[in-house]
Amino acid sequence: MPKKLAYSLTEAAELLGVGKSTLHRAIRAGLVPHVRIGRRIVIPAKALDEWLMARATDSWRSFDDPKTRPEDDFTGLLQFGPEA
């Protein structure tokens, strides 16, 4: 079976371990790479991998440095905005 080129919103949310609505908010905010095909949103597999790895090192650094430590609700860590 060939590797998937892109994930649906539901599949990507499951892979990331977040809710579908949380991922959708991040996409609407322009924070997650995606492609619209008509009304459907797909997340390219390679772009999702690269996006996640680019943020993995930045996210942990914020816990180590008290000046950049996120708020208790982790909105700074997730970077999904104040409504997250």
Higher pLDDT, 43 or 78: 43
DSSP classification of residue 13? H
43-69: average pLDDT: 74
Beta bridge partners of 41: 36
Residue 81: inside a domain: no
Residue 35: inside a domain: yes
d(CA 23, CA 75): 13
CATH code at position 22: 1.10.10
Residue 76: inside a domain: no
Half-sphere exposure for 79 (CA within 13 Å, toward CB)? 12
Q: How confident is the model at residue 13 (pLDDT cuts 50, 70, 90)?
A: very high
Q: Structural domain of residue 30, as residue ranges?
A: 6-69
- Answer yes or no: pTM beyond 0.85: no
Name the residue type at position 13.
A
Residue 82: inside a domain: no
Q: How many domains does the chain have?
A: 1
H or E element that contains 36:
strand 35-37
Q: How confident is the model at residue 74 (pLDDT cuts 50, 70, 90)?
A: very low
Residue 84: inside a domain: no
Residue 28: inside a domain: yes
**Which of these, 30, 29, 12, lies nearest to 20 by C-alpha position?**
12
